[in-house]
Structure 1
Amino acid sequence: MTEDTHRAGEGAGRRRRPTVTAALLLALGAALLWASSRMTWVTAVSSDGLGIDRVDDLEGGRWAAALTPLALVLLAAVAAVFAVRGLALRLVALVVAAVAVAAAIPAVRLLTGGADPEDAAGVAELPDRASVTAVEVSPLPAILVLGGVVAVLAAAVVLWRTPREQAGLSSKYDAPAARREAATRRAENDEPLSERGMWDALDAGEDPTDDAGEDDSDTRR
């Protein structure tokens, strides 16, 4: 019984592995987006012709205002991947892929086209009489965002390819009826049962020791 329980535990671990991998990738992506939102993306130097030049450090939360909400969506997705299965899990995969695309757009624009002075003036909320005389771009925050995007897209692929039976939490979180149904199915397929699975089989009206009893009878004969 101990060996069967061990094999059943290993099987459950393998079934949960894609979900855990996706959750870790999503958490990494959320952390990178959040960190980038706290870093300076653009430094704008402006002058209004009346005093000294003004210098504004524009963080990611201002330059790409959607970063923080998108990071929160990814954290919510971490919880969702443990709670849903089947079609709902694929919907989560589509949502996180869309989040990745949305996060990538401002980062790619900054790295490929630089910062537009008019955009910098708007983000810095300069008065009408002031104009931006120089902008300096910091590429590192945008690169962090792209790293997070790669992690999130990888998580989306893992979630999309996860078989239904390998999704969600451990079976101990399933409803009693679902556990009994799963126990009956495992018994019919002669799969090894864990200690919890044996109790579920008994609840379902199945005797998990029948096969063992029959084998002992055959040995005595």
Structure 2
Amino acid sequence: MKRTLAALAVCAGALLGTVSAAQAITLSISGSSANYNLPNNFSLSSETGLATGTTVKRLTGGGLALDTAGWLTFSYLGSEASNHNEFKFSVGGTTIFDNTSSTNTATTIYQSAAGLLSFLFKDATVGSSISNQGTSNVYLNSIALFKETATSWIILFNDTCDCDKDYDDLAVRVQAYSRDPSIPAAVPVPGALPLLASGLIGVGLMARKRRKAA
């Protein structure tokens, strides 16, 4: 009986074990932006899922911000540009994506505090760059954003070449997570399982009492 009770206790403990729910995390524009409809010459529809005519937010002094510390995964979506363009995390930081490279792999970075994301686009051909919340030069060398969900945005860059205003010179998706996405999440315990665990313990105790009474 002692072994049975011990087994029941272990089972109950496993059933009652839960992982605390992940705290909410949100990406949003902090500051000013302006609506802009992607033109007919936007050529990354298949890569981004954005059709021509889609309304995006062109940054006009604002920037993409995280409401709490968390993990950010950046994914390269594509580029249609004759200029050599780069995407960097942190001003002067290491290049994450390069439109002349064939090995642009997704990168996850931890941002230790709420606030603006520290990224920039660089037009390496002419040497100009623009950072998140940087001042856009109308359409030349500027950034536009599209919100997919509260935790996923597409970032579009328009470089300094020819003023085509197409925002397809480099496209990146950023996704925010409250926990490290490389670590598999534990499955939450359904609400009925604690009751089942309590029932198993109760059955074990009743069986023990009956044995003692006999």
Structure number with higher helix proportion: 1
Whether these two folds match at TM > 0.5 is no
Greater relative CO, 1 or 2 (CA 8 Å, sep 6+)? 1
Structure number with higher strand proportion: 2
